[in-house]
Structure 1
Amino acid sequence: MLDLFAGPGGLDVAARFLGFDSIGIEWDRSACETRYVAGLHTIHADVSVMRETRFEEIPKSVDILAGGPPCQSFSVAGRGAGRQALDTVKEFIHRLVYGEAEAEIDKDLQAIGMDPRTALVLEPLRWLLKAIETEGRDPYRVIVLEQVPAVLPLWEVYAEVLRGGEGRLRGVKYEAACWELRTEQFGVPQTRRRAILVARRPGEGAIEPLEATHSRFNVHRDRRGVAQREIFTSDPSTNGPKRWLSMAEALDAASRLSDSPVDVARLRTRGAIDFFVVSNYGSGGDPKKRGRRLSSEPAFTVTGKISRNKVYRNSEEYEAGKPDRFTIPESGVLQTFPHNFPWSGYDQAQQVGNAVPPRLGMHVLSKALRGTPPTKEELAAATTWPAVPASTTENLRVIGCGDHSRCPPDSHKVSGARRKPAP
């Protein structure tokens, strides 16, 4: 699997636990460092530059294309420039497929002043067209893409052109489907919505929607005027999906694993994990109204600002303004990374927030590649990351960053004003 915009490895981690090899392309040096220490094959490069000038370095054995283009310009947490440009991006998708020169397309993208990050949503399509038009290459067998829900209309356009096989696709057609998925319905202890596209070459059967394993969390529960704890800690039904997973359950399970860096003793009261979280973001658009979640509920969407969320054990701590914070390993667990995943480099909270939750990735990739959900054994194994020898890390670092001149410009220049990496 080739993972574009790979970040610290959410999809790569998912692929590894499912038994698939992967190569990630990532421009952020710190995310690459996490990947090297985790033993994930990585190329430290700009995705566009890699496609344009180094495409031949990608092994011909790669037959799965995956990725999540940067979402900041589409996200509701950002300014939304990408959401305003949806119609424009749809037009460029068609222009790419129906044979217009890419140089002209790039020129027009610059002329309209589009946020460069918004234009990156076109990259997976460009990589597919490059593979089709390169002699000796086969089209990707499977394509898996993810983004924030605002991008779902673009994935629908992707699906339409992939089914048609016209223009530069040269008759290469795909079965394609896209959905909006909620992470808590797949065992992720946080509420997060993602737009997913899955495309497969014909002959491998129709693409069936993913079947949720857990129930949906009611984010509007407060409006019902009933105590949260009373509703949401009741036993799950034996007939339907399991109840969603809470922060307390996820953190407690991680803390009990061998040599776990997750230590929730400070969050226990009379033996039970009991706290509430005040979000960094405002509720209902009002920055003064910070949302709250109990430890007996799923977390808010884990973003790069999760280290700013305030954790309190009781109202006395809240009134005194003495909050705790989630550690990086705890934040990773809320994203369903293994408890001992070796976060490295700078901006670790941002790395955690930018990643695809691996457990969701396992469900999506397993359905796309095998037509079935991951097994219970695979999901159980995904809680612990295998030890990686230092020699392996160094070899991966040499492959990915051995020649700094091939890395993104200035990416190895670190200002003394920046904080040092966490040990």
Structure 2
Amino acid sequence: MITYDSVDLFAGPGGLDLGAKAAGLVPVGVEWCSQACATRRAAGLPTIQGDVRRYGPADFMPATRLLAGPPCQTFTVAGDGAGRRALDTVLDLAKRMAAREDIYDRLAGLDDERTGLVLEPLRWALDAADMGRPYEAIVLEQVPAVLPVWQAYTEILHAEGYNAACGVLAAEQYGVPQTRRRAVLVARRDALVGLPAPTHRPWRRGALSEVESCRLPVVTMGDVLPHRGPFVVISNYGTGGDPKNRGRRLSTEPAATVTGKISRNRIVAPDGRELPRLTHSEAGVLQGFPADYPWTGLDIGQQIGNAVPVPLAAHIVAAATGLRLPAPATESEAA
């Protein structure tokens, strides 16, 4: 029998779940991809394989918190842009859902059905409220282009009795060894809520502000992959095929955003020697997963790239629930 106190929609291989566990929750994940489910089960994470749209709060009555990271493919700049083009429609549908209108014929008319999945957490939240069992806390995560949707959610949740906040966070400011920007929403019924305060400095070249200098230093690739020694990562991501635009990150810097194509990145020694490319374990570590995480099945690179970075997940879950995370290491301990 599965024991849980929260439900994670579009749960993937478990990044949001591991963050939730660090914050003191016991989540169950709903995920349709059999490969991600295999990884989750190998990691011992409670898992229901299936389509989120076929379930609802009544199927997960013990869950008092709702977590979700809907698919981002139609909203990300690397995708075809169907979600971004349909943004006005999605915002209108959210308002109609809040008014308890039936929108499912209109959802069926979207160019890409994945776009409408960004509204599934709202359906779950409203259904739970209508059952008289509203979720105590809600945590949502997506690519920055979805921020207008989270802003619409914030207004709707306020009307439903929640305190809510949303914004775009930089993952490296929460101890993730990569630069990755994510739109997040946190909501809570019984207390004021806000986005989590950064624990680490932003990654940029140049002088830091007084506030930033009081934070922990950014976590670098070399910090989490010390066995590699000094190296340079050369990435084609975002180059449009132009070799002049290849991104370079030193091991003394955080990684660029980890994507499903991370195995294409070249790893070069300071003297120019080609080094072995990142393993699945190493790519997972850059997302905050343990080095021994049991990545399983096919297309593991995509599983890793789609995951929510674990340290960021822990901070946003803690912000939404009021639970405490273990204190981060001091700068002297981190050195």
The normalised TM-score by structure 1 is: 0.72
Measured in 2, the distance between the counterparts of 1:5 and 1:89 equals: 19
Paired positions, count: 323
Match of 1:340 among 292, 296, 301: 292
Structure 1: state its 5+ residue gaps.
166-172, 222-230, 253-263, 268-272, 380-423
| Correspondence list, 1:304-319, <5 A | 304-317=260-273
Match of 2:255 among 299, 303, 306: 299
| Correspondence list, 1:148-163, <5 A | 148-163=143-158
Pick closer, same or farther for the CA change 1:276–1:211 going to 2, 3 Å. Answer: same
Partner of 2:21: 16
Cα shift at 1:17: 2.3
Counterpart contact for 2:7–2:28, Cα < 8 Å? yes
Letter in 2 for 1:191: T
Partner of 1:207: 193
Partner of 1:107: 105
Moved segments of 4+, more than 4 Å:
236-239
Cα shift at 1:151: 0.6
Counterpart contact for 1:335–1:352, Cα < 8 Å? yes
CA-to-partner distance for each residue in 1:159-192, whole Å, 9 max, x for gaps? 0011123xxxxxxx11110011000011111000
Partner of 1:57: 59
Structure 2: state its 5+ residue gaps.
1-5, 331-335
Counterpart contact for 2:9–2:67, Cα < 8 Å? yes
Match of 1:247 among 211, 221, 225: 221
Partner of 1:225: none
Identity %: 47
Partner of 2:135: 140
Match of 1:188 among 176, 186, 197: 176
Q: Secondary structure at the match of 2:237?
A: strand
Match of 1:46 among 34, 51, 55: 51
Counterpart contact for 1:143–1:200, Cα < 8 Å? yes
Letter in 1 for 2:147: L
Measured in 2, the distance between the counterparts of 1:92 and 1:211 equals: 32
Partner of 2:333: none
Asked which structure has the greater CA Rg, the reply is 1
CA-to-partner distance for each residue in 1:325-378, whole Å, 9 max, x for gaps? 100110111111112111111111111111101111111111211165x12279
Match of 1:282 among 225, 238, 247: 238
Letter in 1 for 2:144: P
Measured in 1, the distance between the counterparts of 2:134 and 2:115 equals: 25
Q: Secondary structure at the match of 2:272?
A: helix
Cα shift at 1:132: 2.6
Cα shift at 1:314: 3.4
Counterpart contact for 1:187–1:359, Cα < 8 Å? yes
Measured in 2, the distance between the counterparts of 1:83 and 1:277 equals: 31
Measured in 2, the distance between the counterparts of 1:299 and 1:184 equals: 9
Partner of 2:74: 73
Counterpart contact for 2:202–2:212, Cα < 8 Å? no
Measured in 1, the distance between the counterparts of 2:51 and 2:329 equals: 32
